[in-house]
Structure 1
């Protein structure tokens, strides 16, 4: 069990675990989940950690096929600037390895923002806390558990 799954059990939230054999040569962890589990890419979300200009960290949960817009994330977080956080800091703060960072069960509660597109979904998929493990749950449940805000944080091509 991962910390993410333990939180869901403890809080009695409805969820489904989906696992697949992770290929370490795959270019994108999120898109690998889409392919191996035959999922809609709009329902599969990646968990990114950004560093804000005040030195704090923020979690951004966005669809795997999209890019995070740093200006929109900074604005949502009430900061002037945001940048991707250093890998070592992300792993130390969340307790998860990159490619397996779950928004749930992190060592430290961080400000969390879920892309607004998730609010329209009946269910979404996020990392279960290790590579090859996805958790399907309702976006509102994820927002409640992570104290997240829904916000427009993706880059629009």
Structure 2
């Protein structure tokens, strides 16, 4: 009998909003890294479709979510300009779970404890689908970028 997959907040929210998606699962107990490039190979999709979710702060409870291609780095100066802040920095990994409800490597742009201002890199806007974390390591969501952005009130901007 197949093991039932526990739904994450991200999956529940996608379903509540009646957004079409596909759940992609991959092995996490094989000793391989769980970086984005390795994960793209595990799920059988080119890395250009796989995105990571990063959280930055401008200090004093001002948090922002950035969704960028796994092979790219968030440009902190570009991102700060887009959100109208002088300077931003990445939050500490130790603060991620308490702030978002997600762990490093399993952070999804949807379903966090709070809805933070969310920005997707413009490279996603032209794709038919993108792949992001479904809220835990070993689980990804394949979803249309415009649908995902709408679900988390996200905007598209040049941030890499």
After TM superposition, the score normalised by the length of structure 2 is 0.91
Runs of 5+ unmatched residues, structure 2: 1-6
Higher radius of gyration, 1 or 2: 2
The size of the alignment, in residue pairs, is 154
CA–CA distance in 2 between the matches of 1:24 and 1:96? 22
Superposed, 1:142-157 pairs within 5 Å as 142-154=148-160
Per the TM alignment, residue 24 of structure 1 is displaced from its structure 2 partner at its CA by 7.4
Match of 2:47 among 41, 51, 58: 41
CA–CA distance in 2 between the matches of 1:24 and 1:91? 24
Q: Is the 8 A contact 2:58 2:88 kept in 1?
A: yes
Match of 1:62 among 44, 68, 74: 68
Q: What's the RMSD between the two structures over aligned residues?
A: 1.4
Runs of 5+ unmatched residues, structure 1: none
Per the TM alignment, residue 88 of structure 1 is displaced from its structure 2 partner at its CA by 2.5
Q: Is the 8 A contact 1:44 1:125 kept in 2?
A: yes
After TM superposition, the score normalised by the length of structure 1 is 0.93
Per the TM alignment, residue 68 of structure 1 is displaced from its structure 2 partner at its CA by 0.7
CA–CA distance in 1 between the matches of 2:76 and 2:29? 29
DSSP 3-state at the match of 2:99: helix
Range 80-89 or range 103-112, more displaced: 80-89
Q: Is the 8 A contact 1:53 1:80 kept in 2?
A: no
Q: Is the 8 A contact 2:28 2:34 kept in 1?
A: no
Q: Measured at CA, do residues 31 and 41 of structure 1 come closer, stay the same or move farther in structure 2, by a change above 3 Å?
A: same
Runs (4+) of structure 1 moved beyond 3 Å?
A: 23-28
